[in-house]
Structure formats: C-alpha cells, structure tokens
C-alpha cells in the first residue's frame, strides 16, 4: 500500500470527500486483499472493504497524518474482519469455500488425503476468531509477525502466543478425530 | 508440542487452506457502495442491545470475579 501525499492526508483528516476518494482509490485493492486473506470469502471481503472505508471515514478526525494511512487502514480492516468472524457466519462460508477448493485440487501430497485436509480446515474454522485470525495471517498467509501484530493492535509476543494456542487446539481437535498430524 | 510437530501441523494447515497469492482485486467498483454507506443514516442500536449491556454491567458489578472470564472469551 502506498501512502498518499501529506496534503491529501491532511485534507482527508479535515473531512474532504475528494481526498477520501483519492485514498480509497489508492488503498482499496490492498485493503480488500488483506481482508480476503482473513475471511477467505470474496463476497464478504467486498462488503467488509466497504464497511472498513465507512469506519475510516467516520474516524477521519482522529486520523494522524504523521503516522501514515496504510497501517491505520489495515488495523481498521482487521477489526472489521474480526467482527465478521465473530458473528459465526464464516464457518459456513469456510466450509463451502474450502470444500469446493479441496474438491477441485489434486492431491498435492500423497500422504495427506483430501479428507484430512477438509477435516483440518473445518477444525480450524472451529477455533476462536482471535486465534484463527492470528494463525491465518501468520501461518497460512505467512505475513510477518510484526505486520500481524500491528494489524491486531497487540505485541509480536502476543501474536506468537495466539499462533501457538491455535496450533495446540487444532492438534487436539484433530487428535479427537483420530488424526495425528 | 516440539518444533518438528509444530512444523508438520503448519504444513498440514497450509495444505488445508490454500494461500491467497498475489494481490486480488474486488470484482466490482466499491466506491458507489461506500458512498451509499456514507449517506445512510447510522443504525441506532436496538433496545435489547442496551438491555443486554445494562444486564452485563449489573452482573459484573455484583460478581467482579467474572471479569477475567469475560475477558478470556472476548
């Protein structure tokens, strides 16, 4: 994500809609991509991108141009996605999405069957959203822990702890299903 | 969970959930939807949300020991 010029940022802070549109055009793709990586559902990611920019506009007076737009937008986007995950809808979305994906994929690793991958995806979907979001970004999407920490508003150590807890709970869930990863 | 087991579990998770490559684009122009959202009146929270909040505050006031439990599940 590129930061807009300081003039645009200052105008946005004062509530200028043209400056807001400029920032939207500059950052919408990156914000959408970030949200999609979390929710893994294109339609929901589009709605959440709209929701994110609405929240951004609502909070324009609190924006500090010196701190840049990118990180701020990413943080708001992460919280919007987290709110969506907490509604409970994503488990249905995840199931459908992942099932379709798995059905279409050939077996990448002969040792890991499609059934195990599907059970893993479903078990992962049962984790608490705050653990799932950290593990999705850090493990699945391999985003730097520093970026994940900044987006979630927590420390790098807290991100590592959440990833550790997510993996431990995932392992327990899989073991209950007779799968030993 | 040792490092080897953790790596195997991470690989399994990466196999189960395909990574989203590149920088995906939304399927439509989202600016009109943002404008509509800005023009819409903010939805007032329904009365039962306020009732739930009041009940929660009351519960926490009477049972402060429950605060860590709530924080854990947030």
Q: Please write down the HEC assignment for all residues of A19-64.
A: HHHHHHHHHHHHHHHHHHHHHCCHHHHHHHHHHHHHHHHHCHHHCC
pLDDT at B5: 79
DSSP B63: -
Banded pLDDT at A97 (limits 50, 70, 90): low
Q: Would the pTM count as exceeding 0.90?
A: no
Residue of chain B whose alpha carbon sits nearest to that of A119: B16
Banded pLDDT at A27 (limits 50, 70, 90): very high
The CA distance from B13 to A121, in Å, is: 7
Q: What domains lie within chain A, and their CATH numbers?
A: 6-86 (1.10.1740.10), 94-176 (1.10.10.10)
ipTM: 0.75
Q: Confirm or reject contact between A28 and chain B (CB < 8 A).
A: yes
Q: Confirm or reject contact between B7 and chain A (CB < 8 A).
A: no
How many angstroms away from the CA of B44 is the closest CA of chain A? 15
Taking contacts as CB-CB distances below 8 angstroms, the residues of chain A near B28 are: 46
Residue with tokens 């802070």: A13
Residue of chain B whose alpha carbon sits nearest to that of A127: B73
pLDDT at A92: 46
CB contact under 8 A, B37 and A108: no
Span A14-41, mean pLDDT? Answer: 94
How many angstroms away from the CA of A120 is the closest CA of chain B? 6
Interface probe with A: pick from B1, B4, B5, B18, most Cβ of A within 10 Å: B18
Cα dist. B60→A29, B48, B67 in Å?
42, 18, 7
CB contact under 8 A, A40 and B17: yes
pLDDT at B29: 93
User: Within B17-66, where are the H helices?
Assistant: 31-39, 47-62
pLDDT at B36: 93
CB contact under 8 A, B20 and A33: yes
The CA distance from A20 to A12, in Å, is: 5
Banded pLDDT at A3 (limits 50, 70, 90): very low
Q: Is the pLDDT of residue A130 over 80?
A: yes
Beta strands in A1-160 (DSSP E): none
Mean model confidence pLDDT for chain A: 86
Cα dist. A34→A29, A94, A111 in Å?
9, 17, 31
């Amino acid at each position: 994500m590129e930061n807009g010029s300081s003039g645009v940022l200052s105008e946005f802070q004062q509530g200028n809609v043209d400056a807001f549109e400029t920032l939207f055009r500059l950052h919408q793709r990156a914000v959408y991509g970030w949200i999609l990586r979390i929710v893994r559902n294109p339609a929901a990611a589009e709605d959440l991108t709209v929701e994110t920019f609405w929240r951004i506009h609502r909070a324009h007076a609190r924006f500090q141009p010196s701190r840049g737009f990118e990180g701020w937008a990413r943080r708001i986007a992460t919280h919007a996605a987290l709110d969506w995950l907490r509604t409970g809808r994503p488990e249905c979305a995840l199931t459908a999405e992942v099932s379709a994906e798995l059905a279409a994929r050939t077996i990448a690793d002969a040792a890991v069957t499609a059934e195990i991958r599907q059970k893993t995806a479903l078990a992962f979907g049962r984790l608490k959203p705050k653990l799932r979001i950290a593990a999705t970004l850090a493990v699945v999407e391999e985003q730097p822990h520093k970026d994940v920490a900044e987006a979630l508003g927590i420390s790098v150590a807290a991100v590592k702890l959440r990833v550790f807890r997510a993996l431990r709970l995932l392992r327990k869930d899989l073991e209950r299903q007779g799968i030993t990863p | 969970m040792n490092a080897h087991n953790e790596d195997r579990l991470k690989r399994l998770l990466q196999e189960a959930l395909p990574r989203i490559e590149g920088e995906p684009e939304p399927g439509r122009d989202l600016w009109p939807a943002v404008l509509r959202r800005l023009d819409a009146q903010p939805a007032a929270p329904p009365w039962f949300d306020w009732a739930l909040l009041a009940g929660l505050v009351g519960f926490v006031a009477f049972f402060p020991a429950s605060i860590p439990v709530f924080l854990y599940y947030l």
